[in-house]
Amino acid sequence: MTQTSPHEDDQEQASKDRNFVTALARGLELLRAFGAGEEYLGNADLSSRTGIPRPTVSRLTYTLTLLGYLQRNPDIEKYRLGAGVLALGYRYLANMGIRDLARPHLQRLADATDCNVSLGTADRTSMMYLETCHGSGPLIMRLEVGSRLPIATSAIGRAWLCGIPEKRRKQVMLELKEIHKGDWARIEAGIEKSLAEFREYGFCLSEGDWQPEVSAVALPLVLEGGAEVMALNCGGSSLRLTRDKLIESLGPKLKGIAMDIVGILEPRSFR
């Protein structure tokens, strides 16, 4: 069966509409070429699937990699979708109502614990808050929607690492190692500790790891069978959030909230 290639459609459209940006359309077409269950594609694969000439594909993949929309594996010289694409998808999910659906559950836990309870997603090497709710008691820091925390040292970032597939986690760890360099041994040990805590408790802890005066629990929010991974955290002053309270009270309560949210979201389609 003969099909019109996407780049030929682009050229035809461009000839009709001078406002049509062919380079942008081609870049988006490359991102759409990644199908379900396919992790890595090379320039030849992308050229074959999209009909875009290989030299053009090479320039586009180079640019998309620099911008964070693709990740390149130098060992096999192929690409996978990067965090930038996921971040755009999560923002779309937020616009579709996930914030509204999660907010009452987050606020209920915030009121019950006098803590800051948040839903976040990964964007490159940071976690970005999509929603956050505050209790009425005193908090060390009242972070708002759009706030960013480092993946490597925050509870919510380490929880996200716990929720993503191992292969992807290893790639993210390599990126974090490059960023943190001299401090990597300490940071890596903290991440491994969080992975062990997640295996034991179903959530991970942060006792002054991100900020000395802040303690928190966090866990991944895994949706659509792992196709989407976000994270939840619950934190406050380390003066009142002892390790026992984190493990025996806050962690189990956060797990309950996560189950409530997943129970609402899973029947819905966000695609």
CATH number of the domain where residue 18 is located: 1.10.10.10
Examine the fold and report which residue of 81, 115, 139 is the final residue of a domain before the chain moves on.
81
Question: Does residue 1 fall inside a structural domain?
Answer: no
Residue 129 CB contacts under 8 Å (≥ 6 apart), including other chains: 118, 119, 120, 143, 144, 145, 146, 147, 148, 149
Could you tell me if 75 and 89 lie in one domain? Answer: no
Question: Does residue 150 fall inside a structural domain?
Answer: yes
Q: What's the number of domains the chain is made of?
A: 2
Whose CA is closest to 207, among 176, 232, 244, 173? 244
Examine the fold and report which residue of 48, 81, 114 is the final residue of a domain before the chain moves on.
81
Could you tell me if 239 and 213 lie in one domain? Answer: yes
Whose CA is closest to 176, among 198, 201, 154, 145? 154
The model carries a pTM of 0.64
pLDDT at 252: 94
CA 174 remoteness from chain centre = 16
Could you tell me if 19 and 44 lie in one domain? Answer: yes
pLDDT at 116: 87
Residue 205 and residue 243: Cα distance in Å, rounded?
8
Could you tell me if 139 and 249 lie in one domain? Answer: yes
The pLDDT profile of the chain, 271 residues, written as one tens digit per residue, is: 434 444 444 445 444 667 788 888 899 899 888 875 667 899 999 999 999 999 999 999 999 998 888 988 888 999 988 877 767 765 665 555 777 888 899 999 998 888 889 999 888 788 988 888 887 766 556 677 878 889 999 999 999 999 999 988 998 999 899 888 888 999 999 999 999 999 999 999 988 666 667 788 999 998 877 778 899 998 887 778 788 889 988 989 999 999 988 887 665 433 3
Question: Does residue 271 fall inside a structural domain?
Answer: no
Could you tell me if 71 and 93 lie in one domain? Answer: no
pLDDT at 91: 62
Examine the fold and report which residue of 18, 52, 81 is the final residue of a domain before the chain moves on.
81
pLDDT at 4: 45
Question: Does residue 259 fall inside a structural domain?
Answer: yes
pLDDT at 43: 94
pLDDT at 137: 65
The SS3 assignment for 72 reads strand
Residue range of the domain that includes 101 = 84-265
